[in-house]
Amino acid sequence: MATLSLLSPASLKSSSSLHNNGTRLILRTPSTLTLRTSSFSSMSIKALSSPSPSPVLTQDDLKKLAADKAVEYVSSGMVLGLGTGSTAAFVVDKIGELLKSGELKDIVGIPTSKRTFEQASSLGIPLSVLDDHPVLDLAIDGADEVDPDLNLVKGRGGALLREKMVEAASKKFVVVVDETKLVTGLGGSGLAMPVEVVQFCWKYNLIRLQELFKEEGCEAKLRVDSDGKPYVTDNSNYIVDLYFQTPIKDGLAAGKEISAFEGVVEHGLFLDMATAVIIAGKEGVSVKSK
């Protein structure tokens, strides 16, 4: 980097290139750019760094964006199905916030699990049950997988039976997910597709389920809790989780075959149920509907 120095005429009397009252410009090459005159102290000029990039959105940030968009479907006076899971929890939080501020009024919530019941109660959301409200205006919930036809895998949180009952009773069912939940075919994530079974002879059904999907390379496992004991649902049942090497070929046929097994209570294939799916991704929030 060059240095500009301004020297007074008195110091440059021997130079033949000076004008009578001029100042000579001398170019040097030290490490910093410095303006120097006979009456001013040295001053360095430094470039400012460029602005730091925007922070990367976490998965929870994306879930919250989708949840906030979903709550736009809610109006005062509605009976709402309140889902279960990490994404649905953001929805319940937002509804509680809007009720507290007065932006929403006369909401009745139908929770899909004990966990959601406790969360909604703590936020002051009025709650009821399907027995008293057999038809709901809207249900909002998350999903574990969403295929291109808006069919779903749900229930990794363990609440699939109550979720399906509440969401089937709803006039509209809005699903909120982040983009990591999109799959080309159900079971395609390689993660669990749950089946709720009665405790009696659960292993008998585990073997039958695994055999049913042997062409998809299915592995069936009993779900256990943190203590290594069988996980027990809110309905006092067990869950057999199915892990697929390849996606399920025909979701509708698979659902019927699973349900036909004696001792199977419910499965995590939610087929032809979603009205709209709200997807949060790095490029923003999008909505897919049928």
Instruction: With beta carbons less than 8 A apart as the criterion, state whether 79 and 52 touch.
Output: no
Distance between CA 117 and CA 203 in Å, rounded?
A: 31
Helical pair 251-259 and 202-212, crossing angle rounded to 10 deg: 150
Instruction: With beta carbons less than 8 A apart as the criterion, state whether 106 and 185 touch.
Output: no
Distance between CA 127 and CA 189 in Å, rounded?
A: 34
Instruction: Classify residue 247 as exposed, middle or buried by CB count within 10 Å of its CB (0-12, 13-18, 19+).
Output: middle
Any catalytic annotation for residue 179?
A: no
Instruction: With beta carbons less than 8 A apart as the criterion, state whether 140 and 82 touch.
Output: yes
Distance between CA 247 and CA 148 in Å, rounded?
A: 13
Distance between CA 114 and CA 128 in Å, rounded?
A: 13
Determine which one of 97, 103, 118, 163 is catalytic.
163
Residues known to be catalytic: 163
